[in-house]
Amino acid sequence: MAGIYLHIPFCKQACNYCDFHFSTSMKMKADFVRAIIQEIELRKEVFANEPISSVYFGGGTPSLLSKEELDIIFEKLYKSFTIDADAEITLEANPDDLTFKKISELKASPINRLSIGVQSFRDEDLRFMNRAHRAKEALKSIKMTQNAGFQNLTIDLIYGTPGMSNEDWLQNLKTSFDLNIPHISSYALTVEEKTALHHQILTNKVAPVSEQQSAIQFELLMTEMSKNGYEQYEISNFCKPNGYSRHNSSYWKKDNYLGLGPSAHSFLGNSRLWNVSNNVEYIKALAQGKLSLEEEVLSQRDRYNEYVMTSLRTKWGCNIHQIENNHSTAFVTYFKAEIQAHLTNGNVIEKEGIYTLSNSGKLLADRITSDLFFLE
């Protein structure tokens, strides 16, 4: 199973917490579309003999692409790759872009799944994050997409925002459940360096993010999701029965994927590749028929660490037999020794050689995986 990710590096405005690669200027959008078409041409042999089961438009804000721009990209994708008839094709969209006309255009395209960047159903949170939409727009956009026939929907929600009480967070979740959203991705607000939020906290313009508040709201999230029939199949991802994101699951299961667009990453067997995180350089290189790629061949240690990090976050867990089959005895011995303390304290559960995180372990996921990393 292989996937394709397309990074669309444009946004109307910058959210204060975001450290992804994007530009708020649309001046180069047409040049970018020509460049990504050229990149598809230059990299089409990557999956010459492998069918594509998922395509994901991320960003940035892919819903800023016009119908004509999407049509051009899809035409090139379908000419260059063998895309399964039932492929999951996702586009990230902001609520303020989802007008009736836009939704109709998307429904007429190959896109069959929308990821709507709601973040919160509270205007206070949206203003804090510097989002371009408001709660009413989020509600309206979801209902319109459902009425248009988009049943395969996912929304993003952020918890741990300063000023968001536990009651506020529970109301956010209730609103999502009432809308019958089949898939929800939910993340703690994190403070990344060089973001506006980081600067605002350093200059005392906003309150620091509370780890305790985030932990409590994460526990509430897990409890409420379970009560409402959602399965937590990855630490931050929840779905109704069999509603897994095919594309994101491929990341966690270490399937091959091709990343297109500036800053996009690819994973191909034992190597990881990434494009330059600069729109001008990306466009200039492709105008000359060149790729602006860097590549890292993963060592056995890198592959072990990545497998532990990704697999332990999921319901499918970390399989000791996979470590035994793909790595030397030293890695197996190290894993068994380092995970023992987490088994003893109940943060990790083992069944038939498969290790998964308990709910208490999910609160400490980064610490646990760090303990299991092979550093020698």
Based on the domain organization, do 177 and 324 belong to the same domain?
Answer: no
Kindly state whether residue 170 falls inside one of the protein's structural domains.
yes
Residue 265: predicted pLDDT: 97
| CA 319 to centroid of chain Cα atoms | 23
**Tokens in use for 223?**
């409890």
Are 132 and 12 in contact by the 8 Å Cβ rule? The answer is yes
Shared domain check, 234 and 111: yes
Q: Is 222 exposed, middle or buried (0-12, 13-18, 19+ CB in 10 A)?
A: middle
Domain that holds residue 307: 299-376
Are 214 and 329 found together in one domain? Answer: no
Instruction: Answer yes or no: do 303 and 216 share one domain.
Output: no
Q: How many domains are contained in the chain?
A: 2
Task: Please tell me whether residue 41 adopts helix, strand or coil conformation.
Answer: helix
- d(Cα 133, Cα 93) in Å, to the nearest integer? 11
What are the Cα distances from residue 354, in Å, to 104, 106, 256, 310? 45, 41, 23, 14
Q: Where among 251, 266, 285 does a domain terminate?
A: 251
Q: Is residue 274 part of a domain?
A: no
DSSP per-residue letters across 105-162: HHHTSS--EEEEEEE-S-HHHHHHHT-S--HHHHHHHHHHHHHTT---EEEEEEE--T
Q: Do 216 and 110 fall into the same domain? A: yes
pLDDT tens figures, 254-280:
899 999 999 999 999 889 999 999 999
Which alpha helices (H) appear in 15-122, and where do they start and end?
29-43, 67-80, 100-107
Final residue before a domain boundary, out of 216, 251, 286:
251
State phi, psi for 295 to the nearest 5 degrees.
Answer: -135, 140
Which pLDDT score, from 0 to 100, does residue 206 have?
A: 87
Q: 194 pLDDT exceeds 90? A: no
pLDDT for residue 49: 87
Q: Which residue(s) pair with 260 in the sheet? A: 6
Identify whether 260 is part of a domain. Answer: no
pLDDT tens digits for 46-83?
999 899 999 999 999 999 999 999 999 999 999 999 99
Cis peptide before 243 (omega within 30 of 0): no
pTM higher than 0.75: yes
Q: Of 326, 308, 325, whose CA–CA distance to 317 is shortest?
A: 308
* pLDDT value of position 109: 98
> Are residues 247 and 360 both part of a single domain?
no
User: What is the pLDDT confidence band of residue 20, given thresholds at 50, 70 and 90?
Assistant: confident
Same domain for 238 and 307?
Answer: no
Q: Tell me, yes or no, whether 43 and 120 share the same domain.
A: yes
Instruction: Return mean pLDDT, the chain.
Output: 96
Spell 86-108 as b/e; 16+ CB within 10 A means b: ebbbbbbbbbbbbeeebbebbee
At 320, which CATH number? 1.10.10.920
The angle at the Cα of 306, spanning 198 to 370, to the nearest 5 degrees, equals 60
Once rounded to an integer, what is the mean pLDDT over residues 129-144? 96
Residue 280, domain member (yes or no): no
pLDDT digits (tens, 9 = 90+) for 82-99: 999 999 999 999 999 999
Same domain, 242 and 331: no
* 96-136 confidence digits (pLDDT tens): 999 999 999 999 999 999 999 999 999 999 999 999 999 99
**Do 210 and 62 have their domain in common?**
yes
| Whole-number CA gyration radius for the chain | 21
- At 213-249, the pLDDT tens digits run 999 999 999 999 999 999 999 999 999 998 999 999 9
Measured between alpha carbons, how far is 171 from 178 in angstroms, rounded to an integer? 10
Domain end: 251, 270, 290, which one? 251
For residue range 151-186, list pLDDT tens digits in order. 999 999 999 999 999 999 999 999 999 999 999 999
Tell me if 256 is assigned to some domain.
no
Domain membership of residue 345 (yes or no) is yes
Nearest to 90 by CA among 225, 251, 283, 209: 251
Residue 182 maps to a domain: yes
Same domain, 366 and 236: no
Query: What is the average pLDDT across 128-153?
Result: 96
169: domain CATH number is 3.20.20.70
What letter does residue 46 receive in the DSSP assignment?
G
Q: In this structure, is residue 42 part of a structural domain?
A: yes
Do residues 119 and 158 touch, judged by C-beta distance below 8 A?
yes
- 196: CB partners within 8 A, 6+ apart: 14, 16, 17, 130
What is the 3 state secondary structure string of 270-335? CEEEEECCCHHHHHHHHHCCCCCEEEEECCHHHHHHHHHHHHCCECCCEEHHHHHHHCCHHHHHHH
In this predicted model, what pLDDT tens digit does every residue of 324-355 receive, in sequence order? 999 999 999 999 999 999 999 999 999 999 99
